[in-house]
Amino acid sequence: MAEGSESSATEDGLERGRYFFCGIGGSGMLPLAQILHGLGDKVAGSDRSYDQGRTPDKFAWLKQNGFELFPQDGSGITSPDQVLIASAAIEDSVPEVAKARELGCERLTRAELLSELFNASGYSFAVAGTSGKSTVTGMLGWILQHEDHDPTIMNGAVMKNFTSPDNPFASAKVGSPNLFVSEVDESDGSIALYRPTVGVLLNVSLDHKSMEELRVLFGDYLKVSGCAVVNADNHEALALAEDCDPVVTFSAKSEDADIAVSQDTIEAGPLSISAAVMDNRDHSVWPLILPMPGMHNLSNALAAIAAASAAGIEVSRAVYALRTFAGLGRRFDVVGTTTNDITVIDDFGHNPEKCAATLRTLKASPGRVIAFFQPHGYGPLRQMGHELAETFVKELGPEDITIMCDPVYFGGTVDRSEGTERIIAMINEFGGKAEHLALRDDCGERILALAQPGDRIVIMGARDDTLSVFAKSIFDRLS
């Protein structure tokens, strides 16, 4: 393929040329760029974080592996034959968008391009829901890989089973283009673009859209899935599956679903959980030992097992594969434990359900919790601030403390009139204990001053890779 202008028809029938990603380092953009690059496409991009010197290791790795990087000043857009990949929310004033429009370049959203690849595959798994998508996608991908099916996997988090010294940023795996596993997003409505062979629905709860909008989006998604795999513990999800056929249900709380667990066999530890998995379709029982904690992760494992079984993989094989599931980056990711027993955890929790699952897992073991939360934007804070405040109050005890900085902001014209102070006031008003420090570095100093032996410090938030650096810096200083 000639650089910059030519395109060619590939075996899957899609026309490919030179793709330019605006925000190439983002959690949604990077894995898609990796997949296209792995399929032989010419991929370039820009990113605000690259210009600002944030996460330099990631961008150095991209350069070393053949991705061409440009400043976010429009200089990377030079030919009308380029295809600009940019979020629908990216403003027209962004130089790449303006230059692409001037040259007449085709523009696609991440979801539009991903859904083309996904729908063109011969067999596809989609994982949807308000929370748990990345973990289940990683689990399902690992089951398929363990069974030698060589899937292509598109994820929003680094999958530790697929990382290596050559690729520490494995949020994607390039395998057969005919077998595709991907999480699919409802927040921008793009879930409507996908036509999965197996469609998984984990849960339906408040996040970026109203419940009424979510019911329509998730309901339509299940209707176009060849087989629906649905969480019977979530009444909203289960209700949407009433008119679907075939359906495979799973449950971590009841023994009546197709894939369930024997309730008296559940053993939860601080870093793992185990249970006897029942396949009620053939009345078989298999021991699951999952090397990650929390009832929510037990539910995630059952979702992956159910989805694999819908494709003909024996439950016994899926259960066995998950014994070696290594987890995902920033999903209850234990940074380390100091010699005086202070544990630091890096976590992606950013909406009420995700935060609740993480905090609930922490509170299942003894010790005080210091919960740091960086809101992932001013808009989401307005949308779900009240529910987030209720979550921190409900899940944490009187000895625990919540610390928050201002929402993450990388520029743009977003309304910043309503900030973190509102949610902090609600937590304290509802009976919790919370503090607001505008700057994240000041929050770090406060956490260090508060930390005592036996504490668990959890760093939560989304849309900002430097949170992992922040978590490690706290652990290093405590050590």
Q: Write out the two tokens for 48.
A: 């605000």
To the nearest whole percent, how much of the chain has pLDDT over 90? 85
Return the CATH number of the domain spanning residue range 333-478: 3.90.190.20
Q: Alpha-carbon distance 16 to 6, whole Å?
A: 8
Are the C-beta atoms of 437 and 403 separated by less than 8 Å?
A: yes
Q: How confident is the model at residue 465 (pLDDT cuts 50, 70, 90)?
A: confident
CA distance linking residue 142 with residue 322, whole number of Å: 8
CA angle centred on 154, ends 414 and 378, rounded to 5°: 15
CATH assignment of 121-323? Answer: 3.40.1190.10
User: 371 and 401 in contact (C-beta within 8 Å)?
Assistant: yes
pLDDT over 60 (residue 12)? no
Lowest mean pLDDT among 1-15, 112-126, 314-328: 1-15
Q: What is the mean pLDDT of residues 349-355?
A: 90
pLDDT at 421: 94
CA angle 387, 391, 396 (to 5 degrees): 160
User: Contact, 332 vs 358, CB < 8 A?
Assistant: yes
Burial class (CB in 10 A: 0-12, 13-18, 19+), 66: exposed
Can you tell me the distance from the alpha carbon of 107 to that of 85, in angstroms, rounded to the nearest whole number?
Answer: 6
Whether the Cβ atoms of residue 257 and residue 251 lie closer than 8 Å to each other: yes
Architecture field, domain 18-110:
3-Layer(aba) Sandwich (3.40)
Residue 276 is predicted with a pLDDT of 98
Q: What is the mean pLDDT of residues 243-253?
A: 97
- Of the pLDDT bands very low, low, confident and very high (cuts 50, 70, 90), residue 392 is very high
Judge whether 396 and 360 are in contact, CB under 8 Å. Answer: no
Looking at residue 111, what is its pLDDT? 96
- Per domain, the residue ranges of the chain are 18-110, 121-323, 333-478
Tokens 């899609």 locate to 14
Burial track 210-247 (b if 16+ CB lie within 10 A, e otherwise): eeeebbebbbebbeebebbbbbbbbebbbebbeebeeb
Give Cα 349 distance to the centre of its chain: 9
Alpha helix segments (H runs only) across 290-419: 295-310, 315-321, 352-363, 378-395
Residue 84's pLDDT is what? 97
CA distance 466 to 55: 6
What is the structure's pLDDT at 208?
A: 63
Q: How far apart are CA 179 and CA 236, in angstroms?
A: 29
Element (H, E) at 183: strand 176-183
- The structure tokens listed for 309 are 């079984």
> Can you tell me the distance from the alpha carbon of 440 to that of 118, in angstroms, rounded to the nearest whole number?
38
Separation CA 155–CA 136 (nearest Å): 10
The answer to whether the CB of 85 falls within 8 A of the CB of 9 is: no
- Asked whether the predicted pLDDT for residue 13 surpasses 50, the reply is no
**Pairing relation of β-strands 343-347 and 333-337?**
antiparallel
Of 75, 32, 24, 31, the closest CA to residue 49 belongs to 24
What is the rounded distance in angstroms from the CA atom of residue 391 to the CA atom of residue 427? Answer: 9
